[in-house]
A = this chain, B = another copy of it.
Amino acid sequence: MSSETIDTPTKIVQATLGLLERPNAKLPTMTDIARATGISRQAVYLHFPSRTDLLVAATRYQDQQNQVDAALAPSRGARSGAERLDAFVTAWGNYIPKIYGVARAIMAVTDTDAEAAAAWNTRMQDMREGCAAAVNALAEDGSLPPNTDIEQATDLLWTLLSVRNWENLTQTCGWSQDCYISTIRGLAMATIARDLGALTDVLACTEPPA
């Protein structure tokens, strides 16, 4: 039933994602995208007014395809604040690799294109709400350190979980995904939930040399 013919905008978006998801992808030009879709460059403009719009549409399509909400759901069902933080860090940390290709492209144009920057900010703001929810849950438990500003704790968690940090550790430094997750989780649990036991997970990764 879903094997109906795919409409052109969707084909364009899929082709764009295909280009973006290959390792070491450069920013595709409109010509690249048209060629990958199998239509003319001008036809792309018939459906997307600008490259930025197309990139934004691509992220939306991808989120929908990946069921972000579903991936982040377990954290909403957690009983304690600490559990919630833990589940959220794990869920988001494992979601990043799926969106990294597109994220890189959007972050790259962010410096030159205000519209792209706005779109990316909105998306990160959504993620930030997850951070805020976890921090709030901790606050209700009373497991936040004394005198902690909730905003600040959210800022810190949000920064720890940034795509840039994931990129640094896994792409530049070559860490495994597991190692990334356990370290960042330990960091978050220790600094925000003051679960000092979590520190044993930090830097306790044995991985085969690359």
State the number of copies, please: 2
**Complex: A199 Cα to B149 Cα, angstroms:** 15
A194 x B199 contact (CB < 8 A):
yes
- Are the CB atoms of B196 and A191 closer together than 8 Å? no
A111-B27, A159-B173, A199-B194 known; A204 vs B165 contact (CB < 8 Å): no
Residue A164 lies at the interface, judged by CB distance under 8 Å to chain B = yes
A65 → B minimal CB distance (Å): 24
Given A159-B168, A164-B164, decide whether A187 and B196 contact each other with a Cβ distance below 8 A: no
Closest to A167 in B: B164
Q: Does A169 reach chain B (CB closer than 8 Å)?
A: yes
- Tell which of B112, B152, B153 touches A108, judged by Cβ atoms closer than 8 Å: B112
Q: Are the CB atoms of A162 and B165 closer together than 8 Å?
A: yes
Q: Convert A139-175 into 0s and 1s, putting 1 for each residue whose CB lies closer than 8 angstroms to a CB of B.
A: 0000001011100110110110010110011000101
CB distance from A75 to the nearest CB of B (A): 21
Question: A interface vs B, CB < 8 Å?
Answer: 26-27, 104, 108, 111-112, 145, 147-149, 152-153, 155-156, 158-159, 162, 164-165, 168-169, 173, 175, 179, 183, 186-187, 190-192, 194, 196, 199-200, 202-206
- List 21 contacting pairs A-B, 8 Å CB cutoff, sorted by A: A27-B111, A108-B111, A145-B200, A145-B204, A148-B204, A149-B203, A152-B205, A155-B169, A155-B173, A156-B169, A156-B202, A156-B203, A158-B173, A159-B165, A159-B173, A164-B164, A164-B165, A186-B191, A187-B187, A190-B199, A196-B199
A sample of 8 more A-B contacts (CB under 8 A), given A27-B112, A147-B206, A190-B199, is: A104-B111, A145-B199, A145-B202, A145-B204, A156-B202, A159-B168, A164-B165, A190-B190
